[in-house]
Structure 1
Amino acid sequence: MENKEYSKIYRIIHWAIAVSFLLLLATIFLRSTWLNKNNVADIIQNYLMSIDLSLSYDQLIRLAKQIRQPMWNWHLYIGYVLVGLFAVRFTIPFFGQMKIQNPLDKNLSVKEKIQKWTYIIFYVCVIISLVTGILIEWGPKSLKKSMEGIHVLSNYYLIPFIVIHLAGVLIEEVTSKKGTVSRIIGGLKG
């Protein structure tokens, strides 16, 4: 199989999506660990107790949520950026760029078919994440809770995909497709 040359638009979209996903992961990680509303409420409560003040637990949780709100806003903004990036990603194949190839093509090797299916599964999960995120923010309130559940579940694909993607790139870099990293960073022919 020949080495692929990546156009400038391909590289820009690829890296913008990659950075956006890493930033989203950072907000998810912080929200579920150090900046978990219960942890923040406990920190506030411990401080208030040290100066002989107190708030109810409900007040502490509301205050913790207000402290975390800017981080949540970043999660939303990055989500909107991803909606735009994926809209571009799925539109530009009509202009001859970043074609989405058919994994059912009989000319593909088993390895190539697996790669193509992995990307299709990834794209389906991304679409689910983006649509449920939009519905959480803009959809009917009656759907919010069920969309939140689906949104959280749909995000479990991201870390395994990143690991598989990086492992695949590294394997190709040291075996059959030397120069893959150089081409996706700088567009240089390998």
Structure 2
Amino acid sequence: MNNYSFKKYQPLSLRVWHWLNALAILGLLGTAFLRKTFLSWRTNSALIENKLQEAGTTITPELAKDIAVSIRTPMWDWHYVLGFTLGGLLLVRVLVGIFAVKKCPATHAAQSAWNLPKVPAGQKANAVHYTLVKTGYALFYLVTVFMVASGLLLYFKTELGISKEALNPVKEIHELMMWFFVAFVVGHIVGIVVAENRHDQGLVSDMIHGGRKE
């Protein structure tokens, strides 16, 4: 096994964290997409108004909005639950890193980049790919920290005495960074497929049973 292979033994704590984290992020993305598409209050409030008008009943735009928001509220409550879950998993990942993996993704990526000039020419391509992936992981954790922190600010804005207007920039960035996770998930899946068909067969199964200890 070369130094730039992703096939390494994965402790049980990291494997459980990985799959729970994946479920939380996919759930968050799903609720965010529903909020912006099928359960958008703008789309549904207009639909409610039009359908009631066709039935010969009038309704104010404000009431139509309230009904549309009420329809999506149960779904959006799951976004909050999953957001708190992601925050808890982030803390768990710190503990896993300290006690099980004993390696910080950010410092590991930096160390790999620092060692690139010393890599033999024959391994340079694998080393660059490995470093880019590890850097992507480090960026993933940094963005996750921001998403959890900004999500908590938005959720507890009233308790913290922060106005909705003051948090508008935070909200906009929070919503924009959702696309980072979309790109990360797609890139992660594509990367696994490529690795499974090249030199790192068994990555998925290793993340289930742990792989072979070195």
With the length of structure 1 as denominator, give the TM-score of the two structures: 0.92
- 1:120 matched to which residue of 2? 138
Q: Is the 8 A contact 2:109 2:134 kept in 1?
A: yes
Alignment of 1:141 onto 2:141: no
1:33-67 alpha-carbon deviations (Å, 9 max, x no partner)? 11110121122223322332111111111111111
For structure 1, which segment, 131-140 or 93-102, has the greater mean C-alpha deviation from structure 2 after superposition? 93-102
Q: Give the CA deviation at 1:121.
A: 1.1
Superposed structure 1 runs of 4+ greater than 3 Å apart = none
State the AA in 2 paired with 1:103: A
With the length of structure 2 as denominator, give the TM-score of the two structures: 0.82
Summarize the alignment of residues 2-21 of structure 1 with structure 2, pairs less than 5 Å apart: 3-21=7-25
Q: Is the 8 A contact 1:24 1:75 kept in 2?
A: yes
Which structure 1 segments of 5+ residues have no match? Answer: none
**Structure with greater Cα Rg:** 2
- 2:54 matched to which residue of 1? 50
- 1:103 matched to which residue of 2? 109
- 2:149 matched to which residue of 1? 131
Matches of 1:58 and 1:126, distance apart in 2: 35
| Of 33, 36, 40, the match for 1:36 | 40
Matches of 2:172 and 2:95, distance apart in 1: 29
Matches of 1:58 and 1:159, distance apart in 2: 33
1:77-106 alpha-carbon deviations (Å, 9 max, x no partner)? 100000000110022221133632421224
For structure 1, which segment, 66-75 or 141-150, has the greater mean C-alpha deviation from structure 2 after superposition? 141-150
Count, aligned residues:
190
Q: Give the CA deviation at 1:16.
A: 0.4
Matches of 1:70 and 1:144, distance apart in 2: 24
Summarize the alignment of residues 22-101 of structure 1 with structure 2, pairs less than 5 Å apart: 22-97=26-101, 99-101=103-105
Q: Is the 8 A contact 1:7 1:187 kept in 2?
A: yes
Matches of 1:98 and 1:128, distance apart in 2: 23
State the AA in 1 paired with 2:183: P
Q: CA RMSD, aligned part only?
A: 1.8
User: Relative contact order (alpha carbons < 8 A, sep ≥ 6): 1 or 2 greater?
Assistant: 2
State the AA in 2 paired with 1:141: I
Matches of 1:79 and 1:130, distance apart in 2: 7
SS of structure 2 residue aligned to 1:34: coil
Q: Percent identity?
A: 29
| Of 160, 179, 185, the match for 2:202 | 179
